[in-house]
Amino acid sequence: MPHRATRTKPVERIDFVEALVADLRAVVPAPDLARVLTVWALVGLGTTAAWILVLGGLRETALADLATPRLALELLLGGATLAVLARAALEAGVPGGPSRRRLLAPVLLMAGLWLAVALGGLPLHGPDASMAGKRAHCFLEGLAIAALPAGVGLRMIRRRSLRAGPLAGGLIGLAAGLLPALAMQLACLYDPSHALRFHFTPMLVAAGVFGLLGALRSGDD
């Protein structure tokens, strides 16, 4: 019996390479670190200055107190701590960025030095303890001041990394909370125990809140 050839349907040619790259999009480079740091600093300093000056201003003895070695060194080290905190926050999670150890080592060093001075751990002459400039709601003011810089910073972090993460969110919360903490040392009464309870604790609250937000939401929303 002769073999009957079977007719088959022509196989449609598929270009696998084209199929693989059809949905690919160009990778947008992360915004420049120096530029985002500058924008964040302007937002943070502007927010802090506006709030402090509009709602009470600086205490009457602020300029004289600033001439004391302890307060001057405290604000200098606090500013340096703020800078390394903000940089670490904006670099955390960025592909190809520094390791966590390299990010956190300067933060821990500067924060330790700042706290040693701010909490009276070093024998330096500082402002006389008094009730001058006492603000009734300095803790709540610190939280309110930190909210905008922390939110803006978290948005910037999401633009620089695939996911913000709890570390980056927590660091930007600390940095944003440090802004009013330093300002209150000139605007509210000056006392290490008062500062620890009411000026520095908003930093921890902001770090917890924005660390959680960084963990919950991806960097692409």
pLDDT at 99: 87
| Average pLDDT of span 97-112 | 92
In this structure, is residue 157 part of a structural domain? yes
Band of residue 93 on the pLDDT scale cut at 50, 70, 90? confident
In this structure, is residue 69 part of a structural domain? yes
- Rounded to whole angstroms, the Cα distance separating 55 from 92 reads 35
In this structure, is residue 24 part of a structural domain? no
- Rounded to whole angstroms, the Cα distance separating 126 from 75 reads 12
In this structure, is residue 6 part of a structural domain? no
Nearest CA among 118, 217, 209, 142 for reference residue 172:
209
Query: Interhelix angle for 165-187 vs 201-216, to 10°?
Result: 160
In this structure, is residue 20 part of a structural domain? no
Domain count, the chain: 1
In this structure, is residue 12 part of a structural domain? no
Q: What percent of the chain has pLDDT over 90?
A: 66
Q: Which residue has the higher pLDDT, 112 or 120?
A: 112
Q: What is the pLDDT of residues 16-71, one digit of tens each?
A: 556 555 665 555 566 788 999 999 999 999 999 999 999 989 999 999 999 999 99
Tokens of 118: 């701010």
In this structure, is residue 7 part of a structural domain? no
Q: Which residue has the tokens 């703020």?
A: 82
- CA 189, distance to chain mean position in Å, is 26
Q: Which domain holds residue 190?
A: 30-122+138-216
- Rounded to whole angstroms, the Cα distance separating 172 from 203 reads 10
Q: What is the pLDDT of residues 129-168, one digit of tens each?
A: 788 889 999 999 999 999 999 999 999 998 888 667 899 9
Whether the per-residue pLDDT at 185 is higher than 70: the answer is: yes
pLDDT at 160: 85
In this structure, is residue 19 part of a structural domain? no
Q: What percent of the chain has pLDDT over 70?
A: 83
Which residues are registered as beta bridge partners of 218?
163
Band of residue 199 on the pLDDT scale cut at 50, 70, 90? very high
Average pLDDT over the chain, rounded to whole? 87
Give the pTM. Answer: 0.83
Length of the chain as a residue count: 221
